[in-house]
């Protein structure tokens, strides 16, 4: 298929990526793709389920999120059950918020097998995501900052880059924890390799 099938896709868009994700059924579209439209966290869960071929019926009710609309529940729950997404709290997903490049890249990288072992703080996961995504060329062809919300055009390019990447297996060596002896506390961190 070609991006020319979409009336609103022009040479300024990622035409090859849009053609691939459309033909593969990853990002649905009819005559129009809406390449400049922002994509929400709920919609990103749909993209991830389509990429991974997840059967959303198997996962309905797998999460405790109370703010996910009925149409997105199976998609969000399937992604949650497979470790692709997480909420902003134990009961809130914030799915109507626009997804950022960092969040979208993290979802794609988790699908590839990266970050099987969690990173604690907000800045740590974002820095780790950008660093590894740059290293494996996941962000090629995308002109947006890590905290910027992304368009369907940019998500299409991110999806194509992901499809062209290799799946990895992570392993953890060492121990994570804290040793306390009297007034002295030592934090131990495990090393994660891919």
Please report the pLDDT score of residue 176 as a whole number: 59
Angstrom distances, CA of residue 123 to CA of 76, 158, 187: 24, 21, 19
DSSP result, 159-173:
HHHHHTSPP---EEE
Q: What is the mean pLDDT of residues 77-81?
A: 94
| Phi, psi (deg, nearest 5) at residue 118 | -65, 155
Query: Residue 124, CB half-sphere, CA atoms under 13 Å: how many?
Result: 6
Please report the pLDDT score of residue 96 as a whole number: 97
pLDDT band at 138 (very low <50, low <70, confident <90, very high): very high
Please report the pLDDT score of residue 173 as a whole number: 60
pLDDT band at 94 (very low <50, low <70, confident <90, very high): very high
Please report the pLDDT score of residue 115 as a whole number: 81
DSSP result, 49-89:
HHHHT--GGGGTT-S--SS--HHHHHHHHHHHHTTS---SS
Please report the pLDDT score of residue 2 as a whole number: 47
| Residue whose structure tokens are 């099938």 | 5
| Residue whose structure tokens are 């470790």 | 83
Nearest of 81, 3, 89, 90 to residue 45 by alpha carbon: 81
């Amino acid at each position: 298929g070609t991006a020319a099938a979409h009336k609103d896709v022009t040479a300024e868009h990622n035409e090859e990526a849009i053609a691939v994700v459309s033909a593969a059924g990853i990002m649905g579209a009819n005559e129009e793709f809406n390449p400049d439209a922002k994509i929400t966290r709920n919609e990103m869960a749909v993209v991830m389920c389509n990429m991974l071929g997840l059967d959303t019926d198997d996962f309905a009710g797998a999460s405790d999120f109370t703010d996910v609309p009925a149409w997105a529940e199976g998609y969000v729950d399937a992604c949650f059950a497979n470790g692709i997404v997480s909420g902003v709290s134990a009961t809130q997903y914030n799915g109507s918020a626009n997804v950022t490049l960092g969040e979208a890249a993290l979802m794609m990288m988790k699908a590839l097998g990266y970050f099987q072992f969690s990173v604690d703080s907000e800045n740590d996961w974002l820095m780790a995501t950008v660093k590894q995504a740059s290293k494996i060329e996941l962000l090629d062809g995308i002109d947006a900052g890590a905290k910027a919300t992304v368009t369907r055009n940019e998500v299409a390019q991110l999806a194509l880059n992901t499809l062209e990447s290799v799946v990895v297996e992570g392993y953890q060596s060492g121990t994570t924890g804290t040793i306390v002896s009297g007034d002295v506390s030592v934090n131990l961190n495990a090393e994660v390799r891919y």
